[in-house]
Amino acid sequence: MAAPTTEGSDRETGETLLTLHRSGRLAAEYPRVRGLLAGCSEAELRRAGNLLSRLRPEDVRQAHPGVPVVSVAVTGHGTLAPLVPALTAELARHGLLLRPHLADYDSYVFDLSDPGSTLRRFDADVVLCVLDPAVVLDELPVPWTPEDVERAWDEKLGLLTGLVTRYRSTGRGTLVLNTVPLPALLPAQLLEHRSRARLGAVWRQANSRLLELAQSHPGLVVLDLDPLVAEGIAVTDERLSQYAKVHLAPPLLARYAREVGHLARHLAGRTKKALLLDLDGTLWNGTLGEDGFDVLQGDHSEPFRFLQRVVRQLGSQGVLLGVVSKNDVEPVRAVLREHPRMVLREEDLVTVVANWRPKHENIAELAGTLNLGTDSFVFMDDTPAECGLVEAELPGVTVLRAGAEPAHHVATLLRDGWFDTLVLTTEDRARVEKYQQEVERRDFLQQSASVEEYLRLLGVRVRLSPVAPSEVARVSQLSLRTNQFNMTLSRLQPADVARLVAGPATSVLVVHAADRFGDNGLVGAVFLRRAADVVHIDGFLLSCRVFSRGIEQACLGAILRHARAAGATAVVGEHRRGPKNGAVRDLYPRHGFRQVTDDGTTTVFRHDLDSEDPLPVPAHLQFTDQCGGDTP
């Protein structure tokens, strides 16, 4: 799934980065790098990574404190230095800054098992334990048989299972393993075809067991390298493997780094939420205004039907789908509803926008309707002028240029994992329906005489309760995906949430909401900690779908009442500034807290619990408090 590029764009990128590097301005101009790397070839990305990896992360942070930093520790069996530049470039493509730690050669056992190791003290967001064929091959006798390979794999898998268990018991970051591709030179050493088949079965069974580790260990990710090798990438470079112990070829390490970049983007809270598609030439192969229902006729329609199948598959997993087209709306709806060859249907879509306005205006308006930032959107169009205009007017939108060959549309859509997530929850699968309900709520608001009448007739019902074990993954996901109402920019893995639940002085509360239009599900979380006679709100998250309905006031009031009943003298909350959570910076002062400190990044507020009922439940809202004694 290589990106379409031009030699000219590569040359321009390389020259610009080299000029910035030589002039010493690369750190100061770091926000430009994301745009410069867009559409670069893999060769140019490798060159860019070599330049960018020379930057000191602290210099970039000093110039741009708002740039998200992802700390990544790299360990494994072989030499992994070539991976760092590739990771640097891949994170830069997504507007992130890499803070790397490269462990010593073949130190992964000590790194993961010893809490005092340098890697563990680095306290990375992501720990990469890179596995290569030599992990097994170095354990084989000479001569060897498939049974020797099986024994070596059994021992290695036992070791890895123990390392994962020990690391997850105390480590914070997401641990990443990978499957191990079978190098062609190994089965070639067996002269009997039956023995080769046995070796292949042993190797694949071992990789299957590696992949299954992720099912039983929350916080572990196992990347499958077989699909990458299937793209034609060599597993090893024999010269580098034998002379330098680089046991995975640099192009494979680069593709591995791309997958890690997708993961890092998700952990930094930059997962995309919605996919918007053009119609003519993108989702179907004709022009509706000229061809009518013939837009999906003939053999040439198959690539478009394939794209529709893939888009519908994404939508079934919680990606919000919509179309934005320059067309008349009724013919568009007719095709979506009635065309016998359409795979994607109107009911799969959150919205259908078809008019003759500029597309960037429609996208901006849709963002307001769905209460999403424009940087939550991926937009795909086959017209370069439309793509360029959206990029210029809405730089937060990720624009995918569907080229002239429709058979490549799916690869263009999927190559960067824009919607990847660690865990898929029940709420994900119901997200499209919930946002369709949100559009109905907006229509209802417009028909109401006032906001007060809207809220009264909406019939909001809220339940605050301790988190259940089955809800831990959803709470983690909320922390990773929520940017607007995220008071402390908390980014928590499922294991982090579980530790807070189990802690003697900490607790996690969840917020459920519903109204006349349906059940919103689990829409918020509050992280509490008791220190002496003060209750600290270490995090407060609320989905953008339920803003401005009084839910935050009801929940804060319950926390204050519980703190008072538990003998606390104050409740303290924080707002940590981020690029998107400015709208809630006055949440605490609006609800009776006073400012205590402000260091330029984080503002601390305090409520002294000096009134009997400091924050009543809004009159329009039905509130159920199920916390009991489960708050600190």
Average the pLDDT over 180-195 and give the result.
96
Decide if 427 is inside a domain.
no
Q: Dump pLDDT digits (tens) for 218-235.
A: 789 999 999 999 999 999
Of all residues in the chain, what percent carry a pLDDT higher than 90?
A: 68
Q: Which pLDDT does position 624 carry in this prediction? A: 93
Which CATH number goes with the domain that contains 300? 3.40.50.1000
- Shared domain for 503 and 614, answered yes or no, is yes
The total of structural domains in the chain comes to 4
Bridge partners, 377 (sequence order)? 274
- Shared domain for 134 and 154, answered yes or no, is yes
Among residues 250, 224, 220, which one has the least CA distance to residue 79? 250
- Shared domain for 467 and 331, answered yes or no, is no
Q: Dump pLDDT digits (tens) for 158-186.
A: 999 999 999 988 888 899 999 999 999 99
Decide if 559 is inside a domain.
yes
Q: Dump pLDDT digits (tens) for 405-432.
A: 999 999 999 999 999 988 887 777 777 7
Q: Which pLDDT does position 559 carry in this prediction? A: 93
CA-angle at 592, arms to 588 and 595, nearest 5°: 60
Q: Which pLDDT does position 239 carry in this prediction? A: 95
Average the pLDDT over 58-85 and give the result.
94
What interhelical angle do 359-370 and 431-447 show, nearest 10?
Answer: 90
Average the pLDDT over 29-57 and give the result.
89
- Shared domain for 327 and 257, answered yes or no, is no
CA 126 to chain centre: 13
| pLDDT, greater one: 548 or 136 | 136
**pLDDT greater than 70 at residue 461:** yes
Among residues 420, 610, 428, 631, which one has the least CA distance to residue 510? 631
CA distance 613 to 593: 14
Decide if 609 is inside a domain.
yes
Domain boundary among 267, 293, 322: 267
Q: Which pLDDT does position 10 carry in this prediction? A: 65
- Shared domain for 471 and 544, answered yes or no, is yes
| Residue 223 and residue 172 in contact, taking contact as beta carbons nearer than 8 Å | no
Of all residues in the chain, what percent carry a pLDDT higher than 70?
A: 97
Domain boundary among 414, 432, 456: 414
- Shared domain for 497 and 604, answered yes or no, is yes
Q: Which pLDDT does position 630 carry in this prediction? A: 60
Q: Which pLDDT does position 632 carry in this prediction? A: 62
Q: Which pLDDT does position 466 carry in this prediction? A: 95
Q: Which pLDDT does position 9 carry in this prediction? A: 63
Average the pLDDT over 8-13 and give the result.
67
CA distance 92 to 35: 9
- Shared domain for 344 and 473, answered yes or no, is no
pLDDT band at 2 (very low <50, low <70, confident <90, very high): very low
C-alpha Rg value of the chain to the nearest Å: 26
Which CATH number goes with the domain that contains 240? 3.40.50.1110
Domain boundary among 362, 379, 414: 414
Q: Which pLDDT does position 8 carry in this prediction? A: 46
- Shared domain for 211 and 286, answered yes or no, is no
CA distance 160 to 315: 35
pLDDT band at 451 (very low <50, low <70, confident <90, very high): confident
Decide if 50 is inside a domain.
no
In this structure, the number of other CB atoms found within 10 A of the CB of residue 23 comes to: 10
**Distance set, CA 380 to CA 39, 363, 410, 414 (Å):** 14, 12, 11, 12
Q: Dump pLDDT digits (tens) for 540-593.
A: 999 887 877 889 999 999 999 999 989 999 999 999 998 888 889 999 999 999
Decide if 600 is inside a domain.
yes
- Shared domain for 455 and 474, answered yes or no, is yes
Q: Dump pLDDT digits (tens) for 255-269.
A: 999 999 999 999 888
Q: Dump pLDDT digits (tens) for 266-285.
A: 988 888 999 999 999 999 98
Q: Which pLDDT does position 294 carry in this prediction? A: 79
Q: Which pLDDT does position 290 carry in this prediction? A: 85
Q: What's the whole-model pTM score?
A: 0.83
Which CATH number goes with the domain that contains 462? 3.40.630.30
| Residue 472 and residue 497 in contact, taking contact as beta carbons nearer than 8 Å | yes
| Residue 412 and residue 403 in contact, taking contact as beta carbons nearer than 8 Å | yes
**pLDDT greater than 50 at residue 4:** no
- Shared domain for 35 and 139, answered yes or no, is no
- Shared domain for 528 and 474, answered yes or no, is yes
Pseudo-torsion of CA 474, 480, 483, 485, nearest 10°?
40
**pLDDT greater than 90 at residue 598:** yes
CA 455 to chain centre: 33
CA distance 150 to 373: 51
**pLDDT greater than 80 at residue 629:** no
| Residue 139 and residue 155 in contact, taking contact as beta carbons nearer than 8 Å | yes
- Shared domain for 243 and 289, answered yes or no, is no
Q: Dump pLDDT digits (tens) for 365-402.
A: 999 888 888 999 999 999 999 999 999 999 999 999 99
Q: What residue numbers bound the domain in which 206 lies?
A: 68-267
| pLDDT, greater one: 549 or 510 | 510
Decide if 241 is inside a domain.
yes
Decide if 431 is inside a domain.
no
Q: Which pLDDT does position 435 carry in this prediction? A: 78
Decide if 213 is inside a domain.
yes
